[in-house]
Amino acid sequence: MKTNSIWMAILAASISVAQADEHPMAASAVMPTGHDHTAMMGRPMAWTELPILKTKMSGKTRETTVISIAPQNIVVANIDAWSNNLKDANAHRQLVMEMAGAKLDKPATGGFQMLTAREEQTDFVRVASTVYYFGERGAKNPTAMFMQQKNELEIIPQPYPREHSRYRADEDWKFLVRFKGQPLVNQKVNFETSNGSKVETLTDAAGVLTLHIPDDFKPVEEKKEGASHDHGMRRGADLVLATEYADGGKTYLTAFNSTYGADAYDKRNLAMGFGFALLGMVGAAPLLRQKKTEKKVDTATDKKEEV
């Protein structure tokens, strides 16, 4: 009985591999899930089935840092990178896929990079897109780069957050949805977060979607005495927007993904309150010293009069 079970398992594996050879998209179902390089083959992620681009950083120092872009749920051979300096000769370039993903080189101009990955079949086109920001101060406005058409169906940030290059919970942000350069009115858009939120919404008469980033982070638990402190200031999660459109016998699906952080409004208020209190203390210090000096003078005068 045990021998028969082993042969049945081997036969099932052989059939799965054969099916994967006939249907490349099915390869992700039979590949091991414990290796990052399977991401470039379209392995589904745990929190979404939509195509996204995941940014990874490796290296111990700034000089040795390597930025890799790994596609998830989409099969591609390369990734297109667009620089916010459109006059740069290297403003649009293709990043070749490697085992760990496509390496993102840093252009001389730095700034914002729009990244897109495209998978095209006979009657279906899938596109994943995201933005990477190198963080230099004074980076050129990326609006023109965002508005430059890159694929038929697009979701474009209007605008993209500059501070910390990610969105914040409890904030409203706008996105333009267009097809071949034309805004799509009343277009259905699906929104998901890695924290479990899912929303279906529509664009307005201008093809613009106003999205409220949900505050779906779990409350921070108090740490036990002696445990490491985690104030939640850098808590983050992933988000993705996706829409689908049919035209000319072909279906287009595009997705834009990014990250967002926990709402820091209360923390900012606390910090501002502490700052104002500290400022008040600093401002009051000269007055306190003046009062102490006056008190000493009065005391000395009183002693002289007593003598």
What number of CA atoms fall less than 13 Å from residue 153's CA on the CB side?
26
Cα dihedral angle (176, 177, 181, 186), rounded to 10 degrees?
A: -120
Clarify whether residues 210 and 194 are in a common domain: yes
Range of the domain at 1: 1-30
Q: Show Cβ contacts of residue 252 under 8 Å, excluding neighbours closer than 6 positions.
A: 124, 125, 127, 152, 153, 179, 244, 245, 246
Clarify whether residues 8 and 40 are in a common domain: no
Clarify whether residues 165 and 209 are in a common domain: yes
Please choose, from the candidates 253, 266, 272, 303, the residue with its C-alpha nearest in 3D space to the C-alpha of residue 121. Answer: 253
SS3 label, residue 184: coil
Residue 292 lies in a domain: no
Residue 296 lies in a domain: no
pLDDT for residue 283: 55
Residue 297 lies in a domain: no
For 147, the token pair is 């508005």
Distance CA 17, CA 144 (A): 46
Clarify whether residues 47 and 108 are in a common domain: yes
Residue 56 lies in a domain: yes
Spell out the SS3 assignment of 125-171.
EEEEEEEEECCCCCCCCCHHHHHCCCCCEEEEECCCCCHHHCEECCC
pLDDT for residue 282: 53
Domain count of the fold of the chain: 2
Clarify whether residues 52 and 200 are in a common domain: yes
Distance CA 19, CA 34 (A): 21
Q: 107 with 89: CB under 8 angstroms?
A: no
Q: Show Cβ contacts of residue 152 under 8 Å, excluding neighbours closer than 6 positions.
A: 125, 179, 180, 247, 252
Number of Cβ atoms within 10 Å of the Cβ of 163: 7
Clarify whether residues 150 and 5 are in a common domain: no
SS3 label, residue 19: helix
pLDDT for residue 299: 54
Residue 303 lies in a domain: no
For 14, the token pair is 């052989």
Residue 270 lies in a domain: no
Q: Show Cβ contacts of residue 307 under 8 Å, excluding neighbours closer than 6 positions.
A: none
Low-confidence ranges of the chain (pLDDT < 50): 1-41, 231-232, 266, 268-270, 272-274, 276-277, 307
Please choose, from the candidates 53, 55, 78, the residue with its C-alpha nearest in 3D space to the C-alpha of residue 66. Answer: 55
Clarify whether residues 5 and 153 are in a common domain: no
Clarify whether residues 177 and 258 are in a common domain: yes
What is the Rg, in whole angstroms, of the alpha carbon atoms belonging to the chain? 28
Residue 113 lies in a domain: yes
Distance CA 146, CA 177 (A): 12
CATH of the domain at 202: 2.60.40.10
pLDDT for residue 189: 98
- Looking only at the bridges linking them, the beta strands covering 124-133 and 250-261 are parallel
Residue 282 lies in a domain: no
pLDDT for residue 278: 56
Distance CA 31, CA 53 (A): 20
Cis link prior to 159 (omega < 30° from 0)?
yes
Clarify whether residues 241 and 140 are in a common domain: yes
Q: Which residues pair with 141 in a beta bridge?
A: none
Clarify whether residues 146 and 130 are in a common domain: yes
Clarify whether residues 4 and 74 are in a common domain: no
Clarify whether residues 6 and 71 are in a common domain: no
